[in-house]
């Protein structure tokens, strides 16, 4: 069976959209999915994209009822974040292009499915996530918004989230994929780290948190994340010495999400040297390849 690589498939669609002059952001995933599927697979297209009551699920890719052809993309209409819905549509479109032949019964994707990347099943969820991120946030355009050498705050990343029609969390994770800076996103709740994602440069110098299959890690007492209750605004920033985060001086940008009841901390560390031993030990840990969701209903979609 032919292997479809998510980045390549998404990039091919981007080329098509740009060639016909309809590549404006945010990408209209609903229209793109229906048109591309009709053109490429006229005997097996996506015929329905709609919201429905899907308690416990982000979205679904469902085959048409017996006697009819095609597929439907369904998203949870109880989700109020438009960015989260848009990413879900991209995710299910990815399943359609990458996986429907092997899984004719379709998919029902929960928040945990979309946040936990392990086993063969979760590898497919990862591939659908990569497809959605590549389609919605092309790296060549993202780099034009924020240069890889910059250290953005949540206002700048929020502008990108608005541009691409995704959540702030998804935009931040996409930026971490290409930045040359030693930076990290930490998601915390009730005094403990839920999960963290490091840039490649941060990983190479040993800056990461191991959270998978380990006891909960308390956030540093002096960090902004630990003191958001006393903040007068939902977005705050502070420079810290080496006593707070990972024995390194850093700048922390913190944002308290009232909607999802967790705190985002974007950490920027000074430029450092490559540590091959630490990189080999840490690469492949959950901070590099997986995102854990500690509680149903929360995901990296934000």
Domain match, 164 and 284 both:
yes
Cβ-based neighbours of 82, under 8 Å, separated by 6 or more: 165
Considering the domain architecture, whether residues 166 and 276 belong to the same structural domain is answered as yes
Task: Produce one character per residue of 20-29: b if its CB has 16 or more CB atoms within 10 Å, e if not.
Answer: eeebeebbbb
pTM score of the predicted model: 0.85
Instruction: Answer yes or no: is pLDDT of 118 > 60.
Output: no
Phi, psi of 293 (to 5 degrees): -110, 120
Model confidence pLDDT, tens digit, residues 204-226: 999 999 988 889 999 999 999 99
In a domain, 107, yes or no: yes
Q: What mean pLDDT do residues 170-189 have?
A: 95
Find out whether 107 and 60 touch, Cβ atoms under 8 Å.
yes
State how many domains the chain has: 2
Establish if 299 belongs to a structural domain.
no
Which residue range forms the structural domain that includes residue 284?
Answer: 139-289
Q: Is residue 167 part of a domain?
A: yes
Strand partners, 193: 188, 217
Q: What is the pLDDT of residue 298?
A: 35
Percent of the chain at pLDDT > 90 equals: 67
Q: Output 24 or 42, whichever has higher pLDDT.
A: 42
| pLDDT(9) > 90 | yes
Q: Are 203 and 292 in contact (CB under 8 A)?
A: no
**pLDDT exceeds cutoff 60 at 280:** no
Q: What is the C-alpha to C-alpha distance for residues 96 and 205, in angstroms, rounded to an integer? A: 38
Question: Rounded CA gap, 165 and 162, in Å?
Answer: 5
pLDDT for position 243? 93
The beta strand positions in 30-137, using DSSP E, are 46-52, 59-63, 71-76, 107-109
Give the H or E element holding residue 173.
helix 168-178
**What digits encode the pLDDT tens for the residues 57-80?**
999 999 999 999 999 999 999 988
Residue 302 falls inside a structural domain: no
Domain boundary among 136, 151, 167: 136
Co-location of 236 and 166 in the same domain: yes
How far apart (Å, rounded) are the C-alpha atoms in residues 145 and 140? 9
Please state, rounded to an integer, the average pLDDT across all residues of the chain.
Answer: 85
The answer to whether the CB of 253 falls within 8 A of the CB of 153 is: yes
Highest mean pLDDT of the ranges 1-15, 17-31, 238-252: 238-252
Q: Are residues 282 and 145 in the same domain?
A: yes
Within this chain, do residues 174 and 270 fall inside the same structural domain, yes or no? yes
Count Cβ neighbours within 10 Å for each residue of 31-48 and write b for 16 or more, e otherwise.
ebbbbbbeeebeebbbee
Shared-domain flag, residues 144 and 260 = yes
* 301 within domain boundaries: no
Which whole number is the average pLDDT over 169-196? 94
What angle is formed at CA 150 by the lines to CA 11 and CA 24, rounded to 5 degrees? 35
- Decide if pLDDT at 55 tops 90: no
Q: Tally DSSP H helices, then E strands, for the chain.
A: 11, 10
Q: Give yes or no for a contact between 59 and 49, defined as CB atoms under 8 angstroms apart.
A: no
Domain presence at residue 214 = yes
Asked if residue 131 and residue 195 are part of one domain, the reply reads no
Q: Evaluate whether residue 298 is within a structural domain.
A: no
Are 94 and 221 members of one domain? no
41 and 118 share one domain: yes
The verdict on 80 and 66 lying in the same domain is yes
What percent of the chain stands above pLDDT 70? 82
Residues 190 and 237 in one domain: yes
Confidence of residue 290 (pLDDT cuts 50, 70, 90): very low
Nearest to 89 by CA among 124, 131, 120, 56: 131
How high is the pLDDT of residue 259?
63
Question: What are the φ and ψ backbone dihedral angles of 117, each rounded to 5 degrees?
Answer: -110, 90
Same domain, 118 and 223: no
Q: Among residues 105, 136, 167, which one ends one of the domains?
A: 136
In a domain, 236, yes or no: yes
Alpha-carbon separation of residue 271 from 150, 156, 259, 264, 278 (angstroms): 12, 21, 34, 22, 16
Among 136, 159, 192, the domain boundary falls at 136
């Amino acid at each position: 069976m032919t292997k479809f690589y998510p980045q390549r498939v998404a990039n091919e669609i981007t080329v098509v959209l740009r060639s016909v002059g309809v590549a404006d952001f945010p990408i209209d995933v609903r229209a793109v999915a229906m048109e591309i599927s009709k053109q490429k697979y006229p005997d097996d297209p996506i015929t329905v994209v709609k919201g429905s009551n899907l308690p416990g699920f982000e979205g679904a890719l469902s085959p048409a009822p017996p006697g009819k052809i095609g597929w439907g993309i369904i998203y949870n209409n109880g989700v109020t974040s438009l960015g989260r819905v848009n990413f879900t549509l991209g995710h299910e479109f990815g399943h359609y292009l990458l996986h429907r032949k092997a899984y004719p019964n379709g998919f029902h994707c929960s928040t945990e499915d979309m946040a936990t990347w392990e086993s063969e099943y979760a590898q497919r969820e990862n591939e659908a996530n990569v497809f959605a991120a590549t389609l919605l946030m092309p790296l060549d355009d993202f780099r034009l918004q924020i240069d890889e050498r910059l250290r953005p705050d949540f206002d700048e990343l929020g502008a990108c989230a608005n541009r691409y029609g995704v959540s702030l969390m998804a935009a931040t994770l996409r930026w971490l994929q290409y930045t040359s800076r030693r930076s990290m996103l930490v998601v915390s709740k009730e005094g403990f780290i839920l999960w963290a994602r490091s840039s490649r440069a941060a990983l190479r110098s040993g800056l990461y948190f191991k959270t998978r299959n380990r006891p909960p890690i308390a956030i540093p007492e002096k960090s902004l994340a630990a003191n958001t209750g006393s903040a007068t605004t939902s977005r705050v920033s502070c420079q810290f010495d080496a006593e707070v985060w990972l024995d390194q001086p850093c700048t922390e940008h913190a944002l308290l999400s009232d909607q999802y009841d967790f705190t985002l901390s974007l950490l920027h560390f000074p430029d450092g040297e490559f540590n091959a031993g630490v990189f080999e030990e840490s690469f492949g840990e959950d901070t590099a390849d997986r995102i854990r969701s500690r509680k149903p209903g929360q995901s990296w979609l934000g």
